[in-house]
Chains A and B, each alone.
Chain A
Amino acid sequence: MAHAHAHAVKRRTGIMDWLTTVDHKKIGIMYLLAGGFFFLIGGLEAILIRLQLMFPQSEVVSAQFYNELITMHGTTMIFLAAMPILFGFMNAIIPLQIGARDVAYPFVNALGFWTFFFGGVLLNISFIAGSVPDAGWTMYAPLSGTTYTEHFGTDYYVIGLQISGIGTLIGGINFLVTIINMRAPGMTFMRMPMFTWATFITSALILFAFPALTVGLAALMFDRLFSGNFFDPSAGGNVVLWEHIFWIFGHPEVYILILPAFGIISEVVSTFSRKRLFGYSSMVFATILIGFLGFMVWAHHMFTTGLGPIANALFSVATMLIAVPTGIKIFNWLFTMWGGSIKFTVANLFAVGFIPTFVMGGVTGVMLSVAPADYQYHDTYFVVAHFHYVIVGGLVLGIFAGLHYWWPKMFGRVLSEKLGYWTFWTFYIGFHLTFFVQHFLGLLGMPRRIWQYLDGMGFNTLNFISTIGALLMGVGTILFIINILITMRKPKTAENDPWKDGRTLEWTISSPAPEYNFAQTPLVRGYDAWWLEKMEGNSKMTPVEPIGPIHMPSPSILPFFMGLGLFIAGFGFMYAREFGVVSLVIGIAGLVITFGCMGLRSWIDDHGFHIEEEEILKDQGVKA
């Protein structure tokens, strides 16, 4: 496939390098940075929420601002923090785990990042513009319609998420194709690391769940911008339709978030137990089953909507079923640790801490799946406690495990273990302090989404404890940031396999990985390919090709401008009902930028460039 005509090596430096890069490792870092930034914003919103609820009838924030905070906290954490950070891991690690030199579509990969980024920025500019989404992260109609939300808050939500959703969808397709087509020789499906499997299933969920959200957001947008009637009962619209569309997307979304965390936990637990993952094939099967069942249970968010006993019963049973594959996973992790020689590194502490925490979230999930009981729990703090146990206690602990585990591979430096222990204990204790008591607040009858509660209801002490816990989580996060800053000042000295117990292909190459990942594509001879070689006394993988020139995609600024175009278009259309034609013209100009760049991308015949043999040999020499 080599191209006879040589292209000059295209490399940019400084800020232009980051704006134009199509390298999955750099895009992974950008996802991590942007996701981390939004995580801090969402975290700050959470702290403000908790400060408001620290004492009865307090007025730390106004009622309106409180509504904005809960809406933006949920939206930001799910769409702009959690998913991008997971995409960061997928980008940084998946091609390395399957022995590939890049993802299937490097250009689309960059495009996915920039659309996510501009969508997220647009959503958060609402704070500066002064009309913030305030109808809850679920944006239930008719509250989100123009009748009850006249200001532009919902528009920011609808358009911001629509734009960032495009990024997620194309990212999902990219990883599906990468995993299907780009695996190294010998890397059969049943030899893929669990994180790769989790990413594969997650990407499939993204592919089939996000288009439903696209339609829901478009419908809400049409209702608001063009006086449509999807969710307006006075013109025949149906508000329950929004609930269905939102949750047909929204429930798979929960598994989009948690499955990659399951993958990370599997890698970390297995590595630091120094044992093969127990029940690998049942893990794969359970992941697929969870993904499949994830589409069958959306109406359990709507038990109190009034769908009737038959629908409720069916969705109730389907929901309970998910506990089975999830239980399989829990026991597999426990049996992996059983008899292993466990090393409690920070990454492993987070992973091991994850297991009981997630079980608690799972158990309350089964409690909530009982439809009659749900009538009691619904819209109380019990639900808040449940989903924070699975999302923070599951996903965020998984993310922290992954961050400590893969940091050396991404940045060439090992994070300080000592500070890491502090991060773990403050965050872990803070987490349980915050959310454990919320179960009881819910059972005592404290409704969610309320700005104030009265004194003398028995809520005071538990709310106070909860707020202290939230502050402690904040301390944990700050310690982690300090850890990053300290580590970044150290030289890049991480070895290829800094944990010594690495099992998968990413640990066979230098930290951070060279631009082309693998100088020679490795031959995979079994599950845990690198561990297998080590056990046979080999110090490196068997290559399947001689060292030769490596083909690389060219960097491009077009993805940046395509994202920017959508950003401009979003603003133009949003403000058309206030500024009229001028705004509309700006909107159309934005679309012209985006589609113009798309046309340019198709028209420009760019075949990339080659990294020559000498350069690869030079890299090898330094490392050997």
Chain B
Amino acid sequence: MSSHSHVEGQLPHEPERATLEGRNKITGFWLFLGGETVLFGTLFAAYLTLRGQVMDGPTPNELFDFALVALATALLLTSSLTSVFALQAMHKHNVKGLMGWLIVTLLLGAAFLGLEIYEFNHYVHLGHTFAASAFSTSFYTLVGFHGAHVAFGLLWVILILLQLKKRGLNTTTAPKVYVFGMYWHFIDVVWVFIFTVVYLMGKVG
């Protein structure tokens, strides 16, 4: 079987696991996400330690706007769902559906990122700059690390879309799609924690 093959009938149901390379990629990516968990865990710990230190700047309660954050959350959570639809399309060897859902995921992610940039810009005008206080530094670092992950994911999915367009679905491209899906869900889970720890606790705590 050539790995360039994209004749639908020849691909197995789970093309991402058809080769050892593909399986290695998936195992390794699970482990990588374990490391990422520690990374974000440390960022959360730093934020929780420092979030009370607002100095002369605005407090979390004054700063955060629920409507905006709720919209961003909805966008990102939905993009996780659409990435699952993409994967389901892949398992049916439906390249068109796969690419379509990946594009929807891309657009939702881009919208989320746009909102985050708007939000940061808004905060800076309120005096909540990176260097304002320990709270602001740890806030921007935590949320910014997440934002950077989203941005990286967007570039990644564009690259995957280009490869799918050029080479179709095969045992080389399938693991890439699958691993991207894992990454995207992970980013989503991190956001759920950011929503809770940063925004909800900022409003209530």
Contact = CB atoms under 8 A, between A and B. Distances in A.
A173 B50 contact: no
Interface string A66-78: 0000000000000
A226 B131 contact: yes
Interface of B: 1-4, 19-20, 23-24, 27-28, 31-32, 34-36, 38-39, 42-43, 45-46, 49-50, 52-55, 130-138, 141, 155, 159, 162-163, 167, 172, 176
Q: Which are the 4 A-B pairs with shortest beta-carbon distances?
A: A236-B53, A236-B134, A211-B39, A215-B42
A583 interface: no
B163 A602 contact: yes
B130 A4 contact: no
A241 B49 contact: yes
Contact of B20 (A169, A181, A216): A181
Given A105-B28, A212-B42, A215-B43, A229 B134 contact: yes
A51 B52 CA distance: 49
A180 B27 contact: yes
Nearest to B36: A211
Given A104-B24, A181-B27, A241-B50, A230 B138 contact: yes
A214 B35 CA distance: 10
Contacts of B1: 1, 4
A207 interface: yes
A181 B23 contact: yes
A230 B46 contact: yes
Contact of A241 (B46, B136, B141): B46
28 contacts: A1-B1, A5-B2, A181-B27, A207-B38, A208-B34, A208-B38, A215-B46, A219-B46, A222-B137, A228-B131, A228-B137, A229-B50, A230-B141, A235-B55, A235-B131, A235-B132, A236-B52, A236-B134, A236-B135, A238-B50, A238-B53, A241-B46, A241-B49, A241-B50, A595-B155, A602-B159, A602-B176, A605-B167
A235 B134 contact: yes
B52 to A, nearest CB: 8
A173 B172 contact: no
A599 B157 CA distance: 11
A547 interface: no
B173 to A, nearest CB: 9
A226 B130 contact: yes
Interface string A475-486: 000000000000
Nearest to B5: A4
A245 interface: yes
A461 interface: no
B141 A235 contact: no
A3 interface: yes
Nearest to B32: A173
B24 A173 contact: no
A377 interface: no
A230 B137 CA distance: 7
Given A180-B27, A208-B34, A210-B35, 14 more contacts: A1-B1, A173-B32, A177-B27, A208-B35, A211-B38, A228-B141, A230-B50, A230-B141, A235-B132, A235-B134, A236-B52, A236-B54, A245-B42, A603-B159
Given A215-B43, A238-B134, A1 B20 contact: yes
A238 B38 contact: no
Interface string A187-226: 0000000000000000000011111101110110011001
Contacts of A605: 4, 167, 172
B35 A222 contact: no
B28 A104 contact: yes
A226 B43 CA distance: 17
B159 A599 contact: yes
A577 interface: no
Interface of A: 1, 3-5, 104-105, 169, 173-174, 176-177, 180-182, 207-212, 214-216, 218-219, 222-223, 226-230, 232, 235-238, 241, 244-245, 248, 595, 599, 602-603, 605, 607
A209 to B, nearest CB: 8
A238 B53 CA distance: 10
Contacts of A169: 35
A1 B22 CA distance: 12
A4 B176 CA distance: 22
B3 to A, nearest CB: 6
A219 to B, nearest CB: 6
B46 to A, nearest CB: 6
Contacts of B46: 215, 219, 230, 241, 245
Contacts of A222: 130, 137, 141
A119 B84 CA distance: 38
A236 B55 contact: yes
A211 B39 CA distance: 5
Nearest to B27: A177
Contact of B137 (A1, A207, A229, A595): A229
A181 B25 CA distance: 10
> Most chain-A Cβ atoms within 10 A of its Cβ — which of B35, B132, B163?
B35
B164 to A, nearest CB: 12
A218 to B, nearest CB: 7
B50 A207 contact: no
A150 B83 CA distance: 48
A227 B131 contact: yes
Contact of A215 (B23, B27, B39, B133): B39
A228 B3 contact: no
Given A1-B19, A4-B2, A229 B131 contact: yes
